[in-house]
Amino acid sequence: MKKVYLASLLSFTLMTANAQEPMIPMFGAPQVDVKFDEYKAAPQGFDQERAGIAKGTVQLIEYQSESVGTVRKANVYLPPKYDKKKKYSVLYLLHGIGGDENEWYKDGGVPNIIMDNLYADGKVADMIVVMPNGRAAKDDSRAGGYGSAPAFGEFDKDLIGSLIPYIEKNFSVYTDRDHRAIAGLSMGGGQSLNFGLGHMDVFAYVGGFSSAPNTMRAAQLIPDVDKVKKENKLLWMVCGGADGLMNNSAQLKAFCDENGIPCTLINYPQGQHNFVVWKYGLYNFAQLIFK
């Protein structure tokens, strides 16, 4: 699958208030007129640790990457009372250009807390959440910055060729597309849209949170409209209303609406490029998959 990475990724670094990730504006890009889906606020405390409920665990795994040629790391969230005798679905949750396998878990995304609360309320299907390093390079540290942008475009080889087989060998999970989802924030949102729609034989559910300019144009993402209608089970996006990257998601939403492809895009009111929006994305996306 052809990878398209804009030169602006390597040139601009603007930080919004409380942002965890660089926000890279698409200067001169025309505004896309699109109909947003209804915004419903998440309940108070959805991302706060609760006493008196069962808690999941997060473990750091290491796996050999055939495409990168080195040992790589990922964090894996296992739900409360994880049982090896059961089968679980898998959500692959990707970070942004400034992060790594720890960004969601340690930099403010609290995916374990969000998932624990959803489990306690009976709002999610049984799943594990895998948080990999989406920078497919031997030096996959955060220090690479924008210079590592091309490595994000190669991550599907590592993800599909090495990480997914490792997860399926070492955890009690289903191994078919109907039990796999991919979603991510910023650069990871673009990766999720590119890889999820580009590999519908692997992923049935696709989510993009504040997706960055690495997101392919809609006609490249969806060359076969009928195939997407038939095979994709969920295409769900959210972006902050004050985020300069909204057009990356809006152009895909507009294309889908024009072609009758089911697609959701939430405009988070006054939302910026930060975990306020991305936590909201995970909270909602997790409730919609594998059902």
Report the alpha-carbon distance of residue 45 to residue 64 in Å, rounded: 38
Asked if residue 2 belongs to a domain, the reply is no
Asked if residue 162 belongs to a domain, the reply is yes
CA neighbor of 189 nearest in space, from 87, 73, 278, 58 = 278
User: Would you tell me how many other CB atoms lie within 10 Å of the CB of residue 221?
Assistant: 22
pLDDT in the model for residue 12: 31
Per residue in 123-180, pLDDT (tens digit) is: 999 999 999 999 999 989 888 666 677 899 999 999 999 999 999 999 999 999 999 9
CA neighbor of 159 nearest in space, from 194, 124, 108, 110 = 194
What's the distance, CA 249 to chain centroid?
Answer: 13
Instruction: For strands 205-209 and 70-78, give the pairing.
Output: unpaired
Dihedral of alpha carbons 21, 150, 4, 29, sign: positive
Q: What is the DSSP letter of 101?
A: T
What residues make up the domain containing 67?
7-24+32-288
Q: Report the predicted TM-score, pTM, of the whole model to 2 decimal places.
A: 0.92
Per residue in 86-103, pLDDT (tens digit) is: 999 999 999 999 999 999
CATH code of the domain in which 84 resides: 3.40.50.1820
Number of domains forming the structure of the chain: 1
Asked if residue 1 belongs to a domain, the reply is no
Report the alpha-carbon distance of residue 207 to residue 15 in Å, rounded: 23
Asked if residue 178 belongs to a domain, the reply is yes
